[in-house]
Every structure is written in C-alpha cells, then in structure tokens.
Chains A and B, each alone.
Chain A
Amino acid sequence: MNYPYWVAIGLLMLGLYTMIAHRNLLKKLIGMAIFQTAIILFFMLISVKRGATLPIVVAGVIDARAYMNPLPHVLMLTAIVVAVATTGMALAILIRLHAAYGSLEEDVIAERVAADAARPPSPPSDRS
C-alpha cells in the first residue's frame, strides 16, 4: 500500500497550509519545518525496498536487494542540514523582529513598518 506516501503528501499540505493560514510568524516557521520534513520523509520512502534492512553492511551479505537504497538517506542528510540552517536563520530573524517591533504577528508588524515609513526619514544609520 502506498499509504506512507499519502502521509508524506498530507504533511506537505499541512505545512503549506500552516505557512499560508497563520498570521503568527513562528507558526509559519513551524509550518515550514513540517513542509521540509514531509519532503525528507518522501525521500526516505523511496529508498525502502521490500524485505530490505538498513543500509549498514551485515557480514557476508553483499546482495543489493538486502539493503535499502542509501543514496536518498545521504541526500537527506544534506537536506536536513540545510533545513536546520534555514530554521536557525529564520529563528534569528524572528528574534530580531520581535526586538524591533515587539510582536510576531504578521499584520501587527506590517502596521508598524508602515508607521515607521510614514515618519520623516532620518539619515541612514549604521546597523549591525
């Protein structure tokens, strides 16, 4: 049965929905994490073979059909690292956003950005 693939698709949709529907930026971030995880899950699923075991060599067994395809695992290691880095980056941005605007709600931030823009411009300042 292909139900694991349906789970992956479900998670994908869930992640997308969360990213779109919620106004809280942290929740959007969670949605993004779910979205990325769904894709990782998908790749894991395509490496599975019937009757195969983890791709760690068991002494004496050389037949490729006995092991799951290790390549998607390897690719996903990279993808997980990328996801971690992206999430870390996003969290850093959120911390700064909260410090700058005092809120993590999208609409509140947009309001405050607009209010800032409406004030007379000051000379460009140093920012770190």
Chain B
Amino acid sequence: MRGHLPVLPLLLTLTGALLVPIVAVISRRAAWPLALAASGAAALAALGGVVEVLAHGTRRYPVGGWAPPWGIEVVLDPLSAFTAVVVAGVGTLSLITSGPGAASAYRRGTPGFYALALIALTGFLGMIASGDLFNVFVFLEIAAISSYALVGSGGGPALAAAFRYVVLGTVGASFYLLGVGFLYTLTGTLNMADLAQRLPAHAGSPLFVGGALFITVGLALKMGLFPLHGWLPDAYTYAPAPVAALLPAVATKAAAYALARTLLYVLRPTELPVTAMLAWAGGAAIIVGAVLALRQDDARRLLAYSSVSQMGYIALGLGLANPTALAGAYLHILNHAMMKAALFIGVGALVLRGRGPGLAALGLGREMPVTGTCMVVAALSMVGVPPVGGFFSKWYLLQGALEARQPVLVIAILVGSLLALVYMYRLTEAVWFGESPPGAARAEAPWAVLIGLVALAVAIIAAGLGNSAIVARLLVPAAAGAL
C-alpha cells in the first residue's frame, strides 16, 4: 500500500465516483456516506503521503510500471503532498456539509452531485500528483468538465454562468495544451523532470517563449487570475450551495499548483519576464478584486470577487519566486482553501435559513451563533489578523516582497488587507447586526454543516498557530527546487 501512496488519493476518489451511482440505485441514501468515505479515505491517503515525504523524501511512481520518460510518472514531493492534503481535506469537509438536510437548494442527497464532486476531486488530485505535462492536461479537463456540470446544475442563471465557464475554461485548457505542444516540439519529451533538464538548452528559442506564455496564460485563466477571471464571479455566485462549498475552495488552488509546478519547476524562465508579469498581475488582482468585492450586495458574489483578490496573493508569491514568498504563496493555498470553504458554507447555511443571498437578508447571526462565529474566524483570517492562519501567509508574502525589493507590492498586500477588512466587515456586520429577515427559519444550521464549519474554523486557527512547522518542514523544502 505504501508503495502506491502517490496514486492512492485519486484512485480512491475515482473508485468512489464510480461506485456512488451504482450503489445509489440500490439505496439512494447511501450516496452521501459513500462519497464521504471515499473522499475521507483520499484525505487520509494524502496525509499518509505527507508523512511519507517527510520521512523518506520525494517518491516517483511510474504508472503501469512503464519507466519515465516514456511512461507517465506520478510524483510525491513536499509540494504535491501538501497540496493534495489541502484539496482532499477541504474537499472532504465540504462534502460533509452537503449531507442530508443541508442541500435543499440541490435535490437532497442527489447521487449525481456526489459522483460529480468525486470526479472533480479526482481531477484536482490528479493534476497535483502528475509528473507529466500531458497528464496534467487530462486531469485538468476531467476536473473542468465535472466542474462545468456542477456549476450548471443550479439551473437558471447558473446555466448561463456554466456555459461561460465552459467556453473560457476550454480556452484556458486549450492554451495550456498548445503550450505543451510547443515544448514537446522543442524537446521531444513530456515528462516534467526530463523537461526541466532539457529546457535550459533551448532557453532562447521562440518555441520556448511561446510555450511558456501559452501555458502560463492557460493556467492563469483556470486559476481565476485577474484579468482572466471573467468566468469566476458568475460561476461562484450562481452555483448551488453544495457546489459553492467545494469548488471555490479547491478548484483554483489546484490550478495554482499546476501553474507553480510548470512555471517554477519545469520552465524556469529566468530570461523572460513571465514571473514578473505574474507578480504584478497578482498585485493588481489583489486590489481590483477587493475593490469589486466592496461594491457587491450579493454575499456570494462578494466572496467570488474576494477569491479573485486572494488568488492575487498566491500569484504574487509565485511571481516573486524567492523561497519566502513561495512559502507564503503555498501557505495561502492552504489558508484560502479553508477560509473560502468556511465562508461559502456559512453563507450557504444563512441563505438556506434565510430569504436569499443579498446582504440585507443575512442577519441571522443571533439565531445561528455557531455559524456566525465560524464565519468571523474565517473573516479574521481573510483580513489577516494574527494568530489566525491568513495572517501568516501574508507575513511570508510581505517578507518575500521585501526581499525582492518590491515596495509597491508590499503596499499592495497591506492595502489589500485593509480592503479585505472593509468587505469582510460588511459581510460580518450583515450577519451579526443585520435585521433578521421576516419569515426566516429561526434555527441553527443543519448539524452536518456545523460539523464541517467548526472543523474548518478550528483548522484555520490551528494552521495559524502551527504554521511554523508546516512552513519549515514542508514548504521550504518545496520551494527549494524552484527557479
């Protein structure tokens, strides 16, 4: 079993995805527990992967026994193990909250949802585990197609949003594929380690430049990085609540991982200004996303633009590419996944009990204190109040920006925090100090939602207090191989 750890997480979710519809024919109510078991097992496997990496270093797993560079390779190294835990863990917590009783905005316990969610998780986990560029494309599209379906399942405006997502997502994935094609033409190999060795010899070639640019643009689009974020606001606003609990938390993070991996570990474009562009796009995203979030009245759209802003932090860290900034970016992958999941889950619960997603209709903090408190913890993390998790990713990003002598980016990060304060304050104020909407059900969120929320809130605090261990033992080694 230990030998197969690199592929185990995605195999578990894939198996779950296949089993859920079959089992559901027999017993519809078994869909949720089965899905939970599959993703929970995947999360445990991912955790096992981290333990393995910490104990024995990087593991390479040739799929089917075919040796690289001809065979497809799956790699378990500090960064991929870390991100796999984030995706699988947060994914599991999100699935917990979409259990019976929570999903009335989505047909209760629909097996289709769970199967799609598991396929999406397979896609994300596959993107993360891949050691081969084309394999990343395959899993990218697996994740994407299931994401399109998940978003579109909301009906009405969600369909329009999903179509836009389809078109733009395909453009992004296709750009990525084109870039991969360029690199293949140049070197004849698709294996990441092999490419990393061969590419420096071709550094000046137009194919290399083209490939680097196409890959970066494609993945940036998938990541929702400004100005390629057009699909994101609508998709996350109209997606049904269980989907909104899952996708915003993990989808963009997997894409960010893919970008980090290909740009910083394979392409390493030291002569091209790609990383600089990425850093500045990140800085712009932080500010623009936050400013757009300020003006929103729909809580979900506010959170969607907030995601645009927060992905900017990650992009900024990746673009600065020094070890401290990278540690901050990777840590933010963890922190943002958790806080976005908590916030979307919380808003979903409030909308469930209340009368709609507008800020004015969310004033249920007093009736739903646990939900409200968990949202406050997530909000504090979003703003960057110590010692909650979000503060520390900003700490490392700030240090990284200073090391790279980019005072403007330092200011962008700080201003971004203040803007985040404003829009998070608006949301929190609406929840805790707003008027209870008339006719709203006066009850706390369903227990499944509460378990997930509280677990996320605790994890956010723990990630803050324990960040030093994570950074020192996982993220710094992960950043060591970059650029």
Interface residues of A (CB under 8 A from B): 16, 19, 25, 28-29, 32, 35-36, 39, 42-43, 46, 71-72, 75, 78-79, 82, 85-86, 89-90, 92-94, 96-97, 100-101, 109-110, 113, 116-117, 121, 123-128
Interface string of B135-158 (1 = CB under 8 A from A): 001100100110011001111110
B458 within 8 A of A: no
Contact of B166 among A86, A110, A125 (CB under 8 A): A86
Taking the nearest CB of chain A, how far is it from the CB of B177, in angstroms?
A: 6
Query: Do B108 and A94 have beta carbons less than 8 Å apart?
Result: no
Query: Do B159 and A97 have beta carbons less than 8 Å apart?
Result: yes
- How long is the Cα–Cα vector from A126 to B155 in the complex, in angstroms? 10
Query: Do A93 and B361 have beta carbons less than 8 Å apart?
Result: no
Query: Do B156 and A42 have beta carbons less than 8 Å apart?
Result: no
Query: Do A42 and B155 have beta carbons less than 8 Å apart?
Result: no
Residues from chain B with a CB closer than 8 A to the CB of A121 are 355-356, 358, 361
Interface residues of B (CB under 8 A from A): 104-108, 110, 134, 137-138, 141, 144-145, 148-149, 152-157, 159-160, 162-163, 166-167, 170-171, 173-174, 177-178, 181, 184-185, 240-241, 351-352, 355-356, 358, 361
Contact of B163 among A42, A43, A46, A93 (CB under 8 A): A93
27 interchain pairs (CB within 8 A)?
A19-B171, A42-B178, A72-B181, A72-B184, A86-B141, A86-B148, A89-B145, A89-B148, A93-B148, A93-B162, A93-B166, A94-B163, A96-B159, A97-B163, A100-B159, A109-B160, A116-B157, A117-B157, A121-B361, A123-B355, A124-B352, A126-B104, A126-B106, A127-B106, A127-B154, A128-B107, A128-B153
Query: Do A116 and B177 have beta carbons less than 8 Å apart?
Result: no
Q: A29-B167, A116-B156, A128-B110 are in contact. List 10 more A-B contacts (CB 8 A).
A: A32-B167, A46-B185, A79-B177, A93-B152, A109-B160, A113-B157, A121-B355, A127-B105, A127-B154, A128-B107
Query: Do A97 and B160 have beta carbons less than 8 Å apart?
Result: yes
Taking the nearest CB of chain A, how far is it from the CB of B133, in angstroms?
A: 10
Query: Do B174 and A100 have beta carbons less than 8 Å apart?
Result: no
Query: Do A16 and B171 have beta carbons less than 8 Å apart?
Result: yes
**Contact residues of B: prevailing secondary structure:** helix
Contact of A85 among B145, B352, B361 (CB under 8 A): B145
Residues from chain A with a CB closer than 8 A to the CB of B157 are 113, 116-117
Residues from chain B with a CB closer than 8 A to the CB of A16 are 171
Residues from chain A with a CB closer than 8 A to the CB of B160 are 97, 101, 109-110, 113
Contact of B107 among A39, A93, A117, A127 (CB under 8 A): A127
- How long is the Cα–Cα vector from A19 to B134 in the complex, in angstroms? 25
From B105, B160, B184, B361, name the one whose CB has the most chain A CB atoms within 10 angstroms. B160
- How long is the Cα–Cα vector from A25 to B160 in the complex, in angstroms? 9
Taking the nearest CB of chain B, how far is it from the CB of A88, in angstroms?
A: 9
Residues from chain A with a CB closer than 8 A to the CB of B104 are 124, 126
Query: Do B174 and A36 have beta carbons less than 8 Å apart?
Result: yes
> Closest A-chain residue to B163, C-beta based?
A93
- How long is the Cα–Cα vector from A36 to B361 in the complex, in angstroms? 44
- How long is the Cα–Cα vector from A117 to B163 in the complex, in angstroms? 19
Query: Do B159 and A35 have beta carbons less than 8 Å apart?
Result: no
Taking the nearest CB of chain A, how far is it from the CB of B87, in angstroms?
A: 21
Taking the nearest CB of chain A, how far is it from the CB of B259, in angstroms?
A: 19
> Closest A-chain residue to B177, C-beta based?
A39
Residues from chain A with a CB closer than 8 A to the CB of B152 are 89, 92-93, 96
> Closest A-chain residue to B154, C-beta based?
A127
Taking the nearest CB of chain A, how far is it from the CB of B11, in angstroms?
A: 19
